[in-house]
């Protein structure tokens, strides 16, 4: 089975611009989560999508948004980029969350975003 793929792998943007990152989950996985990883804060949860609906959202400003398509592929968007948005953005997919069970997450390689 192919793993989680993320595009692009590297991105350089300037302050004030906006960016869209893409994630393709493992086939059959309907849950997609996004995380931001920085040296200072570690891995922080951005949001989770399941069946095209945002199910959970982390503590990030409204400049961060996302969506999920009917084929489970997901995109996240950051508008009005700030220097502090420079980070590794990771996407993870997992099996549908049912019956109160938690499943392991499978991460993609990430998109390294640099804001100058």
Question: Comparing C-alpha atoms, which of 33, 93, 29, 41 is closest to residue 57?
Answer: 33
Q: Least distance from C-beta 13 to other proteins, angstroms?
A: 20
Q: Least distance from C-beta 85 to other proteins, angstroms?
A: 19
Element of type H or E holding 115: strand 111-115
Q: Least distance from C-beta 3 to other proteins, angstroms?
A: 9
Q: Measure the CA–CA gap between 52 and 92, rounded to whole angstroms.
A: 15
Tokens representing 109 are: 């390689």
CA distance to 2, 85, 97, per residue, from 16 (Å): 35, 11, 36
The residue (of 78 and 94) whose beta carbon lies closer to other proteins is 94
The residue (of 55 and 73) whose beta carbon lies closer to other proteins is 55
The residue (of 48 and 85) whose beta carbon lies closer to other proteins is 48
The residue (of 29 and 115) whose beta carbon lies closer to other proteins is 29
Q: Least distance from C-beta 56 to other proteins, angstroms?
A: 5
Q: Measure the CA–CA gap between 88 and 72, rounded to whole angstroms.
A: 22
Positions in the binding site for other proteins (CB under 8 A)? 4, 31, 33, 35, 42-45, 48, 55-56, 58, 90, 92, 94, 97, 100, 102-110
């Amino acid at each position: 089975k192919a793993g989680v793929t993320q595009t692009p792998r590297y991105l350089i943007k300037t302050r004030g611009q906006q960016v869209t990152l893409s994630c393709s989950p493992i086939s059959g996985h309907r849950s997609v989560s996004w995380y931001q990883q920085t040296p200072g804060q570690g891995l922080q949860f951005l949001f989770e999508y399941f069946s095209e609906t945002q199910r959970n959202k982390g503590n990030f400003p409204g400049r961060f948004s996302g969506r999920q398509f009917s084929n489970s592929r997901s995109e996240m968007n950051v508008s009005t980029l700030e220097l502090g948005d420079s980070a590794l953005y990771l996407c993870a997919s997992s099996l549908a969350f049912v019956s109160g069970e938690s499943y392991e997450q499978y991460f993609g390689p990430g998109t390294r975003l640099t804001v100058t």
